[in-house]
Structure 1
Amino acid sequence: MELEIWHSTRYEFSDAVFLEPHVLRFQPRADGAQTPLEFSLDIDPLPAGMSAALDSAGNTVTHVWFDGLHRSLTITARATVEMLRENPFDFLPDSCRSRLPVFYAAESDALRPYLHRNPHGLGEPDQIAIFASRMRDAARGELVPLLTSLNNTIFDRFETVSRTEPGVWSPERTWREKRGACRDLAALFIDVCRALGIAARFVSGYEESETLGVGEGGELHAWAEIYIPGAGWRGYDPSRGLAVSQSHVAVAAAATAAGTAPVTGTYRGSGGTSDFETEVRVERRVAALA
């Protein structure tokens, strides 16, 4: 199956500003689940220079820098991606390391950033850690059943909402409010896993949605990936209650959500304010008739 992606991001400024160097993350990654076939990036105003690179997490990024003053910045990404993974469970877990606590052995140093939890409120019960322990016990310490159960539990008990304001809620806030955007639920899933010593990371990308008609706009999507011995990084989407397969196109993954942001950069100007809008379309490519 091939998916075509169109993603437009536009910033408008109240006054002319100088755009500092930016880092862009729009190019879908290449891995065992997907292969990018086509990718293009159109930027207005035209950058003075640009350079493709890998960031510290191994994501493909584009560094861009600008000359002069500008009142807007528009970035349009187009991609076609072949989706390869029909079965999200097409792996054989390492039987010696498929129970909790997970023994990562040789991978432990590389996975350390994905095991770190942010400090929780001092003097207060760590409700997320308590919940994590209950999920572990219910799954009898089996890693893959635990992940499936956790994914389903968050999907069933937490309301998925659309939030236009930037940023990701803390796992504690999402836990308290029992709701959140896809990125908030992904952050909660990650925090539960890390509380159990399971390596987890944040993923941003796109989703083919059955709820949107052809030509209707969507938005960037987010989910979690877990490192499973014998299987590598595997995606779980608690906002959908699904293990990730053909409908999810991964762009960037990192230990924190900030490391997956499509656009990272600042601007300089005298009192200028900015407005932001984005639109995403994801459609299946229809094969031409012979």
Structure 2
Amino acid sequence: MPIFRIHHITKYEYDRPVKESVNAIKIYPYQCPEQEILQHDLLITGHPDVQTFTDYWGNKTGDFNILSPHKALTIESKLLVRTIAPTQLQINFHSGFDELRQEMDGQLKMLELARPDMINTQGAVDNIRTIICQPGKSIAAVTEHCSEYIFKHFKYIKGITNIETTVDEILLHRAGVCQDFAHLMLHILRSAGIPCRYVSGYICPNKDGMRGEGATHAWVEVYIPGYGWAGIDPTNNVWVTNKHVKLSVGRHFRDCSPVKGSFKGPARQTLSVYVAVAYEDGNTFEELNNVHLQKENADDTPDVEDGTFAGQQ
């Protein structure tokens, strides 16, 4: 049962003072049996009151605002967490689509998580679905084959995509990062009628050399009949065990964005995201991303949005 110390800093800087910054944060560890929160400290510029609630998907969410003029906003999370998931999972590889339909019957959220979005290149997705969904295959086997297909046929390349990148564009590039591979896998599995959800968190493999180590990370959870939700990481083609720390879940990244919000003022902003993961053996992995922000409102007031999107590797 490894223990990880995770330090996550999101920092916005403005070229002139802004005011009335209103923000929502989802950087609280997800409450589940697979992880135990030993300590969590949250430090925010100006020490505002943070109102917390549980959102539609079960994520702990914090809302806060900073009304006075300011030229920087820093959100710092210090987390000590123990992961207690087994290293060897007992996933049900026997239940198939008949069992899935029975367990989904009448469950609105499950139906919502099994419905694909409309895209222009659905034909390409259907071709992949045909390859991975052979008759008689279990839900777990289809899931595993989907992860393997993405891992083998799509290149891991940083910097060619962003949070606005669509599944159509991912299929065109045949490349991306964890966020892209998660969105692609979600669309493929949902096209097969399998409920699945986006997961935001951290990957902490220490010396195993996994892609995305030490940064905010994204993967997929799939509902397997007779088992429940099982995490799988298409970026590394592995089932999720005790090397992943979960923050939030949702239908897409937008439901899980660690930081998003808005402010008033004609300022230009820069964003940097720092993540460090310290291991029990004393080894520490650090990563700093300077994010290029392009989105601006018509009145030249940019949104403070999706604070760690480029930190997800």
TM exceeds 0.5? Answer: yes
**Cα distance in 1, alignment partners of residues 66 and 161 from structure 2:** 27
Contact residue 21 and residue 64 of structure 1 kept, 8 A: yes
Tell me the CA shift for residue 164 of structure 1.
8.1
Q: Identity over aligned residues, as a percent?
A: 22
Is residue 66 of structure 1 aligned with residue 63 of structure 2?
no
Deviation at 1:187, TM superposition (A): 0.4
**For structure 2, which runs of at least 5 residues remain unmatched after alignment?**
283-313
Question: In 2, distance between residues paired with 1:262 and 1:107?
Answer: 31
Counterpart Cα distance in 2 of 1:107 and 1:267: 41
Q: Secondary structure at the match of 2:152?
A: helix
1:273 equivalent in structure 2: 268
**SS class of match (1:261):** coil
Q: Is the 8 A contact 1:25 1:263 kept in 2?
A: yes
Q: Which amino acid is the alignment partner of residue 74 of structure 2?
A: T
Distance 1:255 1:88 in 2: 27
Root-mean-square deviation (CA, aligned residues, Å) is 2.3
Match of 2:251 in 1: 255
Deviations 1:212-246 (A, max 9, x none): 99xxx942111111111222211111111111111
Counterpart-to-counterpart distance in 1, 2:148 and 2:166: 20
CA distance in 2 between partners of 1:147 and 1:24 (Å): 30
Show the counterpart of 1:173: 169
Aligned to 2:291: none
| Contact 2:129–2:192 under 8 Å retained in 1 | yes
Residues in 2 aligned to 1:165 and 1:120: alpha-carbon distance in whole angstroms: 17
Give the Cα–Cα distance (whole angstroms) in 1 for the partners of residues 77 and 245 of structure 2.
14
CA distance in 1, matches of 2:232, 2:263: 35
1:150-229 matched pairs, under 5 angstroms: 150-163=146-159, 166-210=162-206, 218-229=214-225
Q: Hey, what's the Cα distance between the residues in 2 that align with 1:191 and 1:229? A: 19
Q: How do residues 143-154 of structure 1 correspond to structure 2 at under 5 angstroms? A: 143-154=139-150
The one-character-per-residue Cα deviations of 1:5-61 (angstroms, maximum 9, x if unpaired) are: 1001100011100133211111111212111111110001322x2112111111011
Structure with bigger RCO (C-alpha 8 Å, 6+ apart): 1
Q: Determine the C-alpha separation between the residues in 1 that align with 2:81 and 2:160.
A: 27
Amino acid corresponding to residue 190 of structure 2 in structure 1: R
CA distance in 2 between counterparts of 1:86 and 1:113 reads 29
The answer for the alignment partner of 1:15 in structure 2 is 16
2:288 corresponds to? none
| AA matched with 1:45 | G
Structure 2 letter corresponding to 1:275 = T
Runs (4 or more) in structure 1 with deviation over 6 Å come to none
**TM norm structure 2:** 0.82
SS in 2 for 1:102: helix
> Is 2:81 aligned against 1:81?
yes
* Cα distance in 1, alignment partners of residues 270 and 89 from structure 2: 42
Question: Could you tell me which residue of structure 1 aligns to residue 50 of structure 2?
Answer: 50
Instruction: Give the Cα–Cα distance (whole angstroms) in 1 for the partners of residues 71 and 137 of structure 2.
Output: 55
Q: 1:212 to 1:133 in 2, by over 3 A?
A: closer
Letter of the 2:10 counterpart: T
SS at match of 1:90: coil
Aligned position for 1:131: 128
Letter in 2 for 1:13: Y
Tell me the matched-pair count.
277
| Residue among 95, 98, 102 paired with 2:96 | 98
Gaps of 5+ in 1: none
* Distance in structure 2 (CA, Å) of the matches to 1:125 and 1:188: 11
Kindly tell me: are residues 278 and 125 of structure 1, through their superposed partners in 2, closer, same or farther at Cα, counting changes over 3 Å? closer
Q: Report the alpha carbon displacement of residue 100 of structure 1 after superposing the two structures with TM.
A: 6.2
**Contact 1:34-1:82 within 8 A present in 2 as well:** yes
> What is aligned with 1:115?
114
The letter for the 1-side match of 2:267 is G
Q: Is the 8 A contact 2:25 2:259 kept in 1?
A: yes
Separation in structure 1 between the aligned mates of residue 100 and residue 123 of structure 2, nearest angstrom: 21
Report if the CA contact (8 A) 1:88-1:244 is conserved: no
Inter-CA distance 262–31: structure 2 relative to 1 (3 Å threshold): same
Q: What residue is the counterpart of 1:284 in the other structure? A: 279
Residues 256, 4 of structure 1: CA spacing in aligned structure 2 closer, same or farther, 3 A cutoff?
same
